[in-house]
Structure 1
Amino acid sequence: MEQLHAIKQAAEARRGQRVINERAEAEELREILAQIEEFERQEAWRLEIERLELERLELERWQAEVEERLKMEEMRRREVEIKYQQLREMLDELHELQQVMAESKQDENARDLAAEAESAKKQLEERQQAERDNLDSLMQTKLRAREDKYAKEYAARADLEHQLEEDYLAQLRDFWADKVDGEEQVEASMLPLRQRMDLAYRMWQRWRDDQLHHYRTKLEDERAVKEELMYSARKRNDAAYVDKETDLTRRMVAEKKWIQEVILERERLLVGMELRETEDDTDSLFAAETNEIRE
């Protein structure tokens, strides 16, 4: 701006000086005209012709220079346009590559998460199946142990009852020995004992079956509790995967949004750079032309 102002001042000074000179020349011409009017007219005509010719030549030069500058400006604009078009194409390729890489990474993360969830689910199922098998085996072992316990109790009871029966039978035979109908009396006396023993055995069987039933129910209840715990573990595992999947989806959306914002910002910066590079030189060109016109 200071240079433009200086140019304007210089032009004004020259213009003022030219006015002063013209006035002086006019005064001088009027003085000379009084002496050599005819010569002055001829000289004035010649000077006018020369001035017009100089103006014509100056106008042609200025027009040629303006046309050349406009041509150069058009070429420069075209070069700027081509340069930024190439930059824009390169930027588009970069954006496409970034988006492809981001999508590829997101797909990979999604696959990894799904594989991780499937692996965790499979491992949990295997552990729980092993736990079920162990519970079934332990339950059967405990039932067999309890049944063996009752079988041993019965065997001991049967041995005791058999011994009691044998002792009582021996006593009866000793008592009824050498008596009439002794054997029938022995059998008649043994019958109530055997009946009581049979009744006691049936009662013991019912008690044993009832105890085994309660014990089996207890074991089954314990197994049901274990199954509920395993079900809760599966639900927690599924919920953990859902949480991870939700978090991954949220991060994927945020990443895509960020990439889009980066793309838009780059495009805005590129447009601004192109506009400044195009308009700044254009302003300088027309400023120079304006100065020449004013001069």
Structure 2
Amino acid sequence: MGCDFTVMDRQIESPRGPVPDGKLVYCALGPGSSMIGAPAPSLKLVLDGDERYEIDGRTISVKPGEFLYLDAGSQCIGTNRSAMTGLCLLLPTNGAANLPAGHGDDPVLGRALVLSTRASALGRTLWDYGRRIAHNPLLGPAIADELVARVEVAIAEPLERSRAAIDGLKAVKLSTRRELFRRLERAREFLHAHIARAVTLAEMASVAGLSQFHLARYFKDAYGESPISYHRALRLDRAAKLLAAGGRSLAEVAEATGYSDQVALSHAFRRTYGVSPQSWTRQRGLAA
């Protein structure tokens, strides 16, 4: 038996039962609510529209480009106020061994966690598969097993990183740290979404709903570096990938990563990689 695949085009009133081998659901729903069972951990990706979940007395919003990790537990309610598309991936009920220790009653993460698709390999994988299935749902049965297997392997990394980030926040109450992490993840997603230009601290603070002072302080506590340094690293990593791919001048790479000119990119690149972009490209060519 393999993973089931289903297209869900209407809301459901009663939750579905356990899925020993996992299940992948492509959702294309009009406005309404569904009762959702949670016999095993699941991931819920929003491609278009948005969705709200009532989970253990909390309301959690998931926007396009985000996914919800929901651990096993009591039933919850999912509501979308307008048309939405997305994926729901129910992990196999016998796949708990692949999750990090403490799942099911995580003392730090809690039961539900919203993460960006851009900020982890798992998120990018979900987004890529989701778009492919949205374009052609007939692909679903052929790739369901593959996606579930990849998620089972990859899920531990973002959960462990999230746990470390929440632990790093200097706030007494756990509920406060979780809320701060939620806001910081929105700011981090904004940085990943805007690697083609410089981003100001004021912009990030507005996205996170924090003051600039508190954003800078808590971001460094959670992720180990300032938001500006984090964003610079993303842009330079993108520049390195573009240079490695070839076909673009240094000036074009500078423009694609938000630097004013090739001189500014060269200075930033040398500070991070220890060599000029030209030398780095030559070294890569020799290594290949």
TM bin, normalised by shorter chain, reads under 0.3
Higher strand content, 1 or 2: 2
Higher helix content, 1 or 2: 1
User: Which one has the largest radius of gyration?
Assistant: 1
TM-score of the superposed pair, with normalisation by structure 1 = 0.15
Higher relative contact order (CA 8 A, sep 6+): 1
